[in-house]
C-alpha cells in the first residue's frame, strides 16, 4: 500500500479553510487571521458519527464461482439503521486513521468503532440470501439482527507480507439482542417473535468479547486478527490443477500467542409449524483461541 504524497496536515488545514469560508454564508467571504489559521491542527485521520443513519434498498451482491462452474451465492435487500445517544451525539465517533507500518511494511488503515460505554448506540439490520448450485436455486430466506451494540474494537486493512490480496485485523466486543434466521421471509423485523412468523431460528442475548484466563468477560474487544501479530488474509488462490478459489484465513500468532475470546448465548430456540417448537436453553464457550484458519471456497 503506497503512501499518499498528500500531506495530511496541509489537507486538514485546507478543509478547515474551506469550511470556515462556507460558514460565512450570507455574510460574505472574510479573510482569516494568522491566529485563526495557526489554531488548525493537522491530523492523519477522520472522525465521523452516524446520527440519524438509515438505509434500505434492493441492491444485490452476488459471488459467481469461476468457470466452468455456474454456481453462485448472493445477499441482498439490505436494511440497516442505528439509534443514537441523545446525551452525547458527537462525542464518541467512529475514527479512520492511517498508521505507519513496521520497517519495510505498508501503512495500515484502521477503522475504530465508538466506545459506546452506555450501550445507547444500537444497530438494526436485515438482509436476504440464497445460493444457486448443482441445478438447484435455493432462497435461504432472511437474516434479521436486532439491538446490535459494538463496544470499541474495529477493523484494520493493509497489504499482506507475501503474495497478493488484503491483510486484515478485527477486534470485536459485541452484544446482539436477537439474531433471527427466517427461511420464509423477514416479516416484521421490529419484533423478535411476531405471530406471522411460523418458522425461525432465534438466538437471543449473543455476546462476544475478550476474556481472562479463567473465562471471565473483560468488557474489551477480542482481537480475532491483527495485521501486526496475527494477520488475517482475504485473497484468491490457484491450486495445482489451475482452479482459482476465494480464500479467507487467519495466520499463526507471534510469540505472544493468540488472544482469548469468549462467546455466550442466553437462549437458542427454533419455531416451526411442521416439526414443532424446540428450546435448547443457554450456551457458553468460556475461552477460545484462533491459532490458524484457512477457508477456501470450492469452485
pLDDT in tens, the chain (299 residues): 333 344 444 344 334 433 444 444 444 566 767 666 565 554 568 888 888 899 999 999 998 887 788 889 999 999 999 998 888 878 899 999 998 887 777 899 999 999 999 999 999 999 999 999 888 899 999 999 999 999 999 999 999 988 889 999 999 999 999 999 999 999 999 999 999 999 999 999 999 999 999 999 999 999 999 999 999 999 988 877 777 788 999 999 999 999 999 999 999 999 999 999 999 999 999 999 999 999 987 76
Count Cβ neighbours within 10 Å for each residue of 87-100 and write b for 16 or more, e otherwise.
eeeeebbeebbbee
Q: Are 235 and 259 in contact (CB under 8 A)?
A: no
Dihedral (C-alpha) 124, 61, 227, 230: value to the nearest 10 degrees?
90
Report pLDDT digits (tens) over 14-61.
Answer: 344 334 444 444 445 667 676 665 655 545 688 888 888 999 999 999
Q: Are 225 and 231 in contact (CB under 8 A)?
A: yes
Predicted confidence at residue 114, as pLDDT, reads 94
Angle at 112 between CA 110 and CA 113, to 5 degrees: 150
Predicted confidence at residue 16, as pLDDT, reads 41
Output Rg (C-alpha) for the chain, integer angstroms. Answer: 23
d(CA 174, CA 117): 12
Predicted confidence at residue 40, as pLDDT, reads 52
Predicted confidence at residue 84, as pLDDT, reads 87
Question: DSSP letters of the chain?
Answer: -PPPSS-HHHHHHHHHHHHHHHHHGGG---PPPHHHHHT----SEEEE--TT-EEE---EEEEEPPTT---EEEEEEEEEEE---TTSSSSS-EEEEEE--STTS--EEEEEPP--TT----EEEEEEEEEEETTEEEEEEEEEEEEEEE-S-EEEEE--SSSSSEEEEEEE-EEEEEEEEETT----TT-SS-TT--EEEEEEEEEEEEB-TTS-B-SS-EEEEBTTTB-EEEEEEE-TTS-EEEEEEEPPP-TT-PPPEEEEEEEEEEEETTT--EE---EEEEEE--S-EEEE---
pTM for the complete prediction? Answer: 0.79
Dihedral (C-alpha) 13, 15, 21, 23: value to the nearest 10 degrees?
-120
Predicted confidence at residue 188, as pLDDT, reads 95
Residue tagged 507475501 (cell numbers): 162
Residues in Cβ contact with 192 at an 8 Å cutoff, skipping those fewer than 6 apart? 146, 177, 178, 180, 202, 204
Q: Are 78 and 57 in contact (CB under 8 A)?
A: yes
Domain-by-domain residue ranges, the chain?
1-43, 44-296
Long-range (24+ apart) CB contacts under 8 A made by 116-119 are 116/85, 116/92, 116/149, 116/150, 116/151, 116/152, 117/92, 117/151, 118/85, 119/149, 119/151, 119/175
Amino acid at each position: 500500500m503506497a503512501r499518499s504524497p498528500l500531506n495530511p496536515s496541509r489537507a486538514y488545514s485546507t478543509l478547515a479553510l474551506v469550511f470556515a469560508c462556507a460558514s460565512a454564508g450570507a455574510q460574505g467571504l472574510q479573510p482569516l487571521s494568522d491566529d485563526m489559521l495557526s489554531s488548525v491542527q493537522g491530523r492523519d485521520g477522520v472522525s465521523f458519527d452516524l446520527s440519524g443513519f438509515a438505509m434500505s434498498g434492493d441492491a444485490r451482491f452476488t459471488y459467481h464461482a469461476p468457470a466452468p462452474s455456474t454456481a453462485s451465492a448472493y445477499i441482498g435487500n439490505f436494511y440497516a439503521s442505528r439509534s443514537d445517544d441523545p446525551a452525547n451525539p458527537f462525542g464518541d465517533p467512529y475514527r479512520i486513521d492511517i498508521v505507519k507500518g513496521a520497517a519495510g511494511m505498508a501503512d495500515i488503515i484502521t477503522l475504530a468503532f465508538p466506545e459506546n460505554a452506555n450501550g445507547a448506540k444500537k444497530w438494526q439490520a436485515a438482509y436476504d440470501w440464497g445460493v444457486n448450485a448443482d441445478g438447484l436455486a435455493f432462497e435461504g430466506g432472511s437474516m434479521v439482527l436486532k439491538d446490535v451494540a459494538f463496544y470499541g474494537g474495529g477493523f484494520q486493512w493493509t497489504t499482506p507480507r507475501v503474495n497478493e490480496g488484503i491483510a486484515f485485523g478485527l477486534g470485536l466486543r459485541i452484544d446482539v439482542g436477537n439474531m433471527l434466521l427466517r427461511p420464509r421471509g423477514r416479516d416484521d423485523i421490529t419484533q423478535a417473535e411476531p405471530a406471522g412468523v411460523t418458522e425461525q431460528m432465534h438466538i437471543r442475548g449473543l455476546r462476544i468479547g475478550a476474556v481472562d484466563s479463567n473465562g471471565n468477560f473483560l468488557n474489551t474487544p477480542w482481537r480475532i486478527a491483527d495485521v501486526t501479530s496475527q494477520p488475517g488474509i482475504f485473497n484468491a488462490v490457484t491450486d495445482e490443477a489451475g482452479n482459482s478459489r476465494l480464500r479467507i484465513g487467519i495466520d499463526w500468532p507471534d510469540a505472544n500467542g493468540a488472544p482469548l475470546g469468549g462467546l455466550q448465548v442466553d437462549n437458542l430456540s427454533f419455531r416451526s409449524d411442521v416439526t414443532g417448537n424446540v428450546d435448547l436453553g443457554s450456551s457458553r464457550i468460556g475461552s477460545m483461541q484462533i491459532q490458524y484458519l484457512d477457508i477456501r471456497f470450492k469452485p
